[in-house]
Structure 1
Amino acid sequence: MLWSLHFLGNDCTVTTTDLPPRPAGARPPGRPLSTELSGQLVAVAMDILADEGWGRLNSDRVAARARAGKAGIYRRWPTMAALARHALSTTTLVQVPEDQGSLSTDLCALLLPWTRPLDRAERAAASLVGAARHDEELRAGLEESLVRPLAGAVRELAAREAGRGRELPHERVALLGQVLQALWWQRYTSFATAPMTTPQVEQLVSDVLLPIIDPGGVRPGR
């Protein structure tokens, strides 16, 4: 979390919203909300974020595309940032790979999406990175959808390695997570960068990521 705050240019603690939270299981007042319409509104919001960016997400555009009333939007989400955050929560930005047998191959599998262009959910998330510097709701959405899942994936890979008989130093695992997060943000913000090839991913893992875990294993001159 500390790294993500520094990256987004904010030195305060991430909070989810300034609005008082509803009790668990509570819904907005009035008649029950249509889950079908909720899903449609979220899908429209994701399309706008992915294809046009955060600056184009507004209630008029969402309502027009979903053929719904603006009141229906604000009954569900008080702001467009809240809608964007909810939309991100419906996606999976980081997949924990199946056990590949070694830390090296696990890391290559974790970074497999880097060999493809950003998908719809990733483009939507990428569109929020700049605005999240100034909006706590968006920061919380990125924290929940990317930072925490990525940290969890790194912990899982470290646990697998421990199960293979190699306990990794906690501080090295934490550093690996920080570097991976930095590289992930770079991928989201370097829109002109072409996807990596599989050999490039393998080289990144062997030359950059593995030496973080085992700095003594790096040969002189490399």
Structure 2
Amino acid sequence: MTQELGRPGARLGRPRDAGLTDRLLTGALDLVAEVGLDRFNADALVTATGAGKAAVYRRWPNTEVLLAEALRRCHPVPAVPDTGSLRGDLVALLAPWTRAMDRDERALAAVVGQARHSEELRVGLQVAVVEPLDAAVTAVVDRHAARGHRVSDRQGALLRRLVLALWWDRSAADPAPRTAAEVGELVDRVLLPVVPVG
């Protein structure tokens, strides 16, 4: 997927027009979500956005760096309301799973496999998914503890790992929407046993 953009000795990474930079980053997300990573390249981006190739050359050294920056604009993890219970909070966290994947989710899913071989893409996923999801689960666990339930560090860490693993599985293997009942069953059978509710 990596396509080198700059010439040796060329000055890189200095956007000259914030509006054009925004258009290129938005176009990158649109494109990779639509056609996948294998067909994402600078030529396709230029065609899709109407930007000149020189505009891309001035900003990023290759398409992985470009796409990694674009991924940081994705916000797939919802803000989780305080529902009053651990179960309700976890169901709210997984609420996006009851609908088809949106543009951001499709773009992120498209790079999951390649991120194993790309530090840039791995960092993009870390910022867009791993860190927000970790923060969301931590907030849910802290609320549960504040309601008077004891939660060990080990239990909290295991819950975070499970939720992240399920998130990656949906992205990479099984993106079909679930019903609300299926999400509830997943929470009841897989997640709730990790953290005591009594």
Question: TM-score by structure 2 length?
Answer: 0.89
CA distance, structure 2, for counterparts of residue 111 and residue 118 of structure 1? 12
Q: Cα deviations across residues 92-128 of structure 1 (Å, max 9, x unaligned)?
A: 0211211111111000000000111111000000000
Alignment partner of 1:93 is 2:93: no
For residue 126 of structure 1, the aligned residue among 109, 113, 116 is 109
Aligned structure 1 segments of 4 or more residues deviating by more than 3 angstroms: none
Alignment partner of 1:141 is 2:124: yes
User: Counterpart amino acid of 1:203?
Assistant: E
User: Counterpart amino acid of 2:171?
Assistant: Y
1:202 counterpart residue number:
184
Gaps of 5+ in 1: 1-26, 218-222
Whether the 8 Å contact between 2:13 and 2:60 is mirrored in structure 1 is no
Q: Cα deviations across residues 137-163 of structure 1 (Å, max 9, x unaligned)?
A: 111111111111111111111111122
Gaps of 5+ in 2: 1-11
User: Counterpart amino acid of 2:122?
Assistant: R
Residues 2-17 of structure 1 aligned to structure 2 (within 5 Å)? none
CA distance, structure 1, for counterparts of residue 20 and residue 180 of structure 2? 41
Aligned alpha-carbon RMSD (Å):
1.7
Greater CA drift, 78-87 or 120-129: 78-87
Alignment partner of 1:162 is 2:162: no
Give percent identity, aligned residues only: 43
Residues 25-174 of structure 1 aligned to structure 2 (within 5 Å)? 28=13, 33-174=16-157
CA distance, structure 2, for counterparts of residue 156 and residue 96 of structure 1? 10
1:28–1:111: structure 2 CA closer, same or farther, 3 Å change rule?
closer
CA distance, structure 1, for counterparts of residue 13 and residue 166 of structure 2? 39
1:28 to partner: Cα distance: 4.2
Question: TM-score by structure 1 length?
Answer: 0.80
